[in-house]
Structure 1
């Protein structure tokens, strides 16, 4: 079998196209009309020396590539496969019948306009280092603003990012073995996160185009696998911010039986690159949940060995990483009262992961200010999210999320899907040309029970949709599309964790939720995959590795991030947390659901809060009013727990609760007792956040045993002290450690087999 290869930017040169413009004069004339200038003159003579300008390079290469393809297939049959490098992919799709010559040129013209408008970026080719070695250098020297743009061959990688970092990295790459480091003459950081703004503009532009069924398979740069009939537009958009997997694409074609590769376009860049690839052993790659199996095949087609390479960047699933534009399938969860701070969110984003801002108990005005701060700091398409709790201020929070166009939301503490959450989900709902229905807001639902998961895995309840439509909070078009998508894009299964918890076990919860997801996705026929993540108990590489083996598409951490520099809690709390072990947490009543008996997991070592909180709940169950409790016990509560009189607490409660609720409580002594006891939970949380050393024994600190496990893992290292802990550094160490553990385990199993 044979394949045609279509080159991209970098292959342009004056004189390209030659006599083809005269031979295909009608198409040349059409192209000039669409572009607004004489394409033949520009390609043949480049009179104003603009052929190297992205704005003109891309249309010129498309036209020449398309004409060369038409000329070549006039003499021979079309190939079995098509493959284009970046811009060349448009020529490949034209050749395969996805669109007409004119439509392809309109797309390329717009693409060039959008891409040429992205400034302050840079790219460089690195020769002599493998992909893993390039990633090691980027991590070693903390180049946080550089992405992989092209994986061209086993030892040729193109990087892309902020121009100053790309230029500064040259010395470090050469010091670590790069034979050549060549900065490219481009104005933007193509195929990187910094093209995110261009992505949105291009996605909007593509909505008016329809793509025809492919007559020949085309290998996509983004996936290194053939396009299907429904994902052309989506992959063309994703190509702007994703790396070109050229080496993997060629390896896939060779494994499929392709032996003849013909470059169709100006120059011979791809021919030389292909000669280099085919001269070396070929790697055929398959990947599932982070395990990247690479079968090495030598020049004569035999398989001398099988190797399994597991990398931190491939743990989880590619679909999840691509959806959120992150390098690692790792999230940091929200923590109540803003402990998951804006600084933590920004740091995670810049490290290629995603964090959620904690909003529980935080005034929506402050949340809005934090969102503005985050958006100002993250202007290169980095991923971030905001927490939304099922709380009395939920409607206000939804207003804020919609006002600031927050792209990712962590929905937590929901038992039933609320009307406010459905409003957030459906507002701005639209249908793409390929039929896919998308929402501007991605929702990740954090949950612990199958019945709750089922609510999020189904479309929004018709009654809630109808109510929103009647209230004119959504449009008729949005309501009509509601049945096509689930309430949540993804779900995160929370096992034994800090804060509110059902004390679930990941080994039983996660497989059950995955099967439930598979069943409901099949029944509803969703077009997009719903990813299932794991949270709770993840504080070490071993725990992360176990989650991925169980089938988690991503992991989410919480407790370990509370004991970092970025966490917005007191130093006094962090001093306590850095010394705990796995047995140093306990369960206590949840203040916000005190009467129901719901429980939270909290710090036990060094504080008396768990015992005192449980004592209050036992008294609540035993007595019908505060006056029924004996005088000595009441005195103990007032002097030791509350540190103030019941009268003072009563006044605080009267000021806090709405008048109608407080009036009802006055008529119900047991409810008034509950309100007085609830006060202690709010008080104990506030003094922990402010670090009142005089009241340390009353600190309420939500925490799970994962932090104890983390503390034991880092004992004797600089990370033993929380002042050296940063949330993103911890995440990278856990992910790399998990990859190393899985690599070693699989190696042992393989050798045993």
Structure 2
């Protein structure tokens, strides 16, 4: 009998897979799409040194192992048994038919992300001591927080634990005759109790994956025995925090009659171990049975017990220490930031589009939309990202320096690995702001943007979306950046569903802001793969009705997918009014591929607004909102939806707009109205307010507005009135108690609906409403609603 063995992390090298990529272009195309970049370049050239970083090592090695396996299957019969060391186990399961190539790559990508987040741990290979001797050594030196991580051979054991404890272990090993140690270049204590947080998050992810029973027996790292047909996900989750029983696995292969083993991997890592165990097994055979002594193989604390095996004999072939793997340094998480909770609910994870979840790397088809002036804060976005979800930082209304600081902080936050986005808000009054923000986002390699308030596709949007776009080896166009376009009108959605206009692409190429290759790929892709239909919601609103808009836009997406011949269908999401599980369930029934929440996240500990505002929001009911003029589009009469209860902003803002429509200048206002304006709204004399307004427009480079105001008294009146909107927004975020009556709080009825839903539960106090808990409640509740309602209808 023969076995195929697949190497794990440490076997990678630059140039791996050189003779394989051209043979299997379809595999390469899938990998490029899943990873968002060229896997060939990563493996063959490694231009930026990522190949030795866990997050990239694991998917790259999985791909090369899979190509090598495909080449072998094309030339010879398959094996009788399979096994893989740590990461290599995924290739063994692929060869056994437990999942297809793409599914396996998505699993491995998520595994690499989670393991790459580990920080503060270390691993050390101990050579020359049996596992029980290593355990005794750990006990003697007081390293109680160090576990046996890899039981590779009879005399090679890798231990894992906190870095400070590893220094003690290294000293103890060096003082032991016949023993030596080799530190491994990892940032985490892999395969030990210290990975249990990652294990829980990975288990939640695996709940969303469908596995098939192995067609060929695969020896599991966790047990040293074949995988059962119904627990592939369970063992894979346990593997992250359990020791790799490789020595026991190899002995199991021999016990089952394997005499020939073939290794798959860029470096010869496993063959020497196999030879060692074969020699050891031969020595066991020569030993009289009556003289044999059996002992259990020691395991790390908390790991499952194993079936006892023969006492290890000295290896006849020198053991080989696995090569190092590198993980990039991460910014430590502040100790007062609790780990996001994970809810295991496969039904919730299946709602919406599976392709959307895969493309965005999320555990739910769920996004948290941006909120103006950083209300959707760094803390909010980071918390969601660490929980396997995504939020968009609220860049609207903020200066570029503030946005740059936020983007830099998100990029350095451990556990996100790019799972964050930024809002790109269309500004009719300041056209250059879009280009400047896109320049910043590209400079910091931000991959995800939520585009809002656009009435058509602009050059800045196209430039962001298609920067880095390319065609794969088979000619398939690929964009490495995602754009979720919020639209409340089908005709606007149609612009984003179409490829960019040829003349616009020609212009961007001529300007040097897109390369010809990027423009060529863009011509075959929609400006936005994902369109979010915006019903009546907080902030700027057209008062749209989701019941009509979502199915209409979904039907439009189907027609345009066919018209433009896209390889992948356009996806439609829903936002606005999503404050209860029933509302979220309704969105999915209407045909939404994903949902985007808003108001409910503003009343969370992570939202970037004051406690006073959160107290106000937590007391709202569904009827406690109103419409008011939008400060940025005051003259046009655009509206925002705001909190009405507890503040007079809506009434005062509507009165200001009435005065603007019915008077030609401030001089036309009667004395009573002027007194009200200065006392209740502006909170200062008109002359002082005008000086402050002039200073603001000069400082922001828009002095032309002042020139126009000198010529047009009505425009001067508009600028003075608009200062009220800026001040009331800022006062609410800062929680200024003297301005409570003027708080401008963008909010929709969803906030009141959520308050009613959580009344009497643990989430009634807003300080308990962490953003990932809100997501879990809405999504798991929606799954339950759909199940119960469908059962009732049946």
Counterpart in 1 of 2:639?
Answer: 599
Q: Does the Cα contact within 8 Å between 2:643 and 2:747 map onto a contact in 1?
A: yes
Which residue of 2 is the match for residue 332 of structure 1? 368
Deviations 1:316-352 (A, max 9, x none): 1100000011111111010000000011111111111
What do the CA deviations read for 1:425-450 (whole angstroms, capped 9, x no partner)? 22222111132212222101011111
CA contact (8 A) 1:533 1:555 kept: yes
Separation (CA, whole Å) in 2 of partners of 1:433 and 1:54 = 19
Deviations 1:708-730 (A, max 9, x none): 00000011122111111111111
1:629 aligns with 2:650: no
Residue of structure 2 aligned with 1:414, choices 454, 457, 469: 454
Q: Relative to structure 2, which stretch is displaced further, 60-69 or 549-558?
A: 60-69
- Correspondence 1:738 to 2:774: no
Aligned to 2:586: 546
Structure 1: how far apart are the matches of 2:624 and 2:714? 33
Structure 1 residue 70 displacement after superposition: 4.4
Kindly report which structure 2 residues correspond to 1:376-525, keeping only aligned pairs within 5 A, or say none: 376-379=412-415, 381=417, 383-391=419-427, 392=430, 393-525=433-565
Residue 792 of structure 2 is aligned with which of 737, 748, 751? 748
Distance 1:432 1:713 in 2: 48
Matched, 1:701 2:745: yes
Return the alpha-carbon distance in structure 2 between the equivalents of residues 54 and 366 of structure 1: 35
Secondary structure of 1:409's match? Answer: strand
The CA deviation at 1:394 is 1.3
Partner of 1:148: 206
183 and 678 in structure 1: CA distance in 2 versus 1, 3 angstrom threshold: same
Q: Which residue of 1 aligns with 2:381?
A: 345
1:691 is aligned to 735
Whether contact under 8 Å (2:200, 2:237) holds in the other structure is no
CA distance in structure 1 between the partners assigned to 2:466 and 2:66 by the alignment: 41
Determine the C-alpha separation between the residues in 2 that align with 1:144 and 1:336.
Answer: 33
Instruction: State the Cα deviation string for residues 15-71 of structure 1 (Å, max 9, x = none).
Output: xxxxxxxxxxxxxxxxxxxxxxxxxxxxxxxxxxxxxx9999998998788667745
Give the whole-Å Cα distance in 2 for the aligned partners of 1:551 and 1:142: 31
Shift of 1:85: 8.1
Residue in 1 aligned with 2:694?
A: 654
Q: Aligned equivalents of 2:357 and 2:626: distance in 1?
A: 35
Partner Cα distance (1:375, 1:362) in 2 = 19
SS at match of 1:718: coil
Q: Whole-Å Cα distance in 1 between the matches of residues 752 and 402 of structure 2?
A: 32
Deviation (angstroms), 1:388: 0.8
Instruction: Quote how far apart the aligned CAs of 1:154 are.
Output: 3.1
By how many angstroms is 1:522 displaced?
0.8
Structure-2 separation of matches of 1:8 and 1:521: 43
Is the alpha carbon distance of 1:581 and 1:85 closer, same or farther for their aligned partners in structure 2, counting shifts above 3 Å? same
> What are the residue-to-residue correspondences of 1:298-377 with 2, within 5 Å?
311-377=347-413
Report the CA distance between 1:416 and its aligned residue.
1.6
Preserved CA contact (<8 Å) 2:69 2:95? no
Q: Which residue of 2 aligns with 1:641?
A: 681
Query: Partners in 2 of 1:737 and 1:707 — Cα distance?
Result: 16
Per-residue displacement from partner, 1:335-370 (whole Å, max 9, x unpaired)?
000000011111111111111111011111121111
Question: How many pairs are equivalent?
Answer: 530
SS of match in other structure, 2:376: coil
Q: Which position in structure 2 is the counterpart of 1:572?
A: 612
The superposition leaves residues 136-180 of structure 1 with CA deviations (integer Å, 9 ceiling, x where unpaired) of x999x97579742984543442466799xx53xxxxxxxxxxxxx
SS in 2 for 1:700: coil
User: Partners of 2:630 and 2:665 in 1: how far apart?
Assistant: 20
Label 1:162 to 1:341 Cα distance change in 2 as closer, same or farther (>3 A): farther
SS in 2 for 1:388: strand
> CA 1:57–1:638 in 2, change beyond 3 Å: closer, same or farther?
closer
2:91 match: 87
Q: Distance in 1 between matches of 2:772 and 2:687?
A: 46
What's 1:677 paired with?
A: 721
CA distance in 2, matches of 1:65, 1:526: 29
Q: Given that residues 460 and 487 in structure 1 are in contact (C-alpha distance below 8 angstroms), is that contact kept between their aligned partners in structure 2?
A: yes
Aligned partners of 1:717, 1:574: CA distance in 2, in Å? 18
Instruction: Give the drift of 1:375.
Output: 1.5
TM-aligned CA distance change 1:57 to 1:625, over 3 Å: closer
Do 2:65 and 2:91's aligned partners in 1 also have CA atoms closer than 8 Å?
Answer: no
Deviations 1:615-661 (A, max 9, x none): 01011111111111111111111111111111111111111222222
Match runs of 1:179-198 below 5 Å: 183-184=243-244
- Please tell me the root mean square deviation across aligned C-alpha atoms, in Å: 3.6
**Unmatched segments (≥5 aa) in structure 2:** 9-57, 80-87, 103-111, 117-183, 214-228, 247-344
SS at match of 1:326: coil
Counterpart mapping for 1:43-82 below 5 A: 70-72=75-77
Q: In the aligned structure 1, how far is the partner of 2:657 from the partner of 2:558?
A: 41
Cα distance change of structure 1 residues 717 and 673 upon mapping to structure 2, 3 Å threshold = same
Q: Does the CA-based 8 Å contact 1:6-1:91 persist in structure 2?
A: no
Residues 560 and 707 in structure 1, CA contact (< 8 A), matched pair in contact too: yes
Distance 1:6 1:577 in 2: 62
Gaps of 5+ in 1: 12-52, 75-83, 99-110, 126-136, 168-181, 187-308
CA drift of 1:574 comes to 0.5
What's the secondary structure of 2:206's corresponding residue? strand
Q: Distance in 2 between matches of 1:460 and 1:358?
A: 26
1:310–1:743 contact (8 Å) kept in structure 2: no
Q: For the residues of structure 1 that align with 2:664 and 2:3, how far apart are their CA atoms?
A: 80
Decide whether the 8 Å contact of 2:382 with 2:416 is kept in 1: no
2:197 and 2:387 mapped to 1: Cα distance? 11
Show the 5 A alignment for 1:225-240. Answer: none
- Judged with a 3 Å threshold, the aligned counterparts in structure 2 of structure 1 residues 62 and 397 are, in CA distance, closer, same or farther, namely closer
| 1:122-145 Cα distance to aligned partner (Å, 9 max, x none) | 5699xxxxxxxxxxx999x97579
What SS class does the counterpart of residue 591 from structure 1 fall into? coil
Partner residue, 1:202: none
Aligned-partner Cα distance in 2 for 1:8–1:90: 12
Q: Please, what TM-score do these two structures have when normalized by structure 1?
A: 0.65
Deviations 1:196-228 (A, max 9, x none): xxxxxxxxxxxxxxxxxxxxxxxxxxxxxxxxx
Distance across 1 between alignment mates of 2:235 and 2:436: 43
Give the stretch that moved more between structures: 530-539 or 422-431. Answer: 422-431
Of 591, 605, 612, which residue of structure 1 is paired with 2:652? 612
SS of corresponding position for 2:784: helix
C-alpha change, 1:65 and 1:543, in structure 2 (3 Å) is: closer
Q: Which residue of 2 aligns with 1:558?
A: 598
Aligned to 2:188: 120
Q: Secondary structure at the match of 2:531?
A: strand
SS of residue paired to 2:632: helix
In structure 1, the residue corresponding to 2:398 is in which secondary structure?
coil
- TM-score normalised over the length of structure 2: 0.62
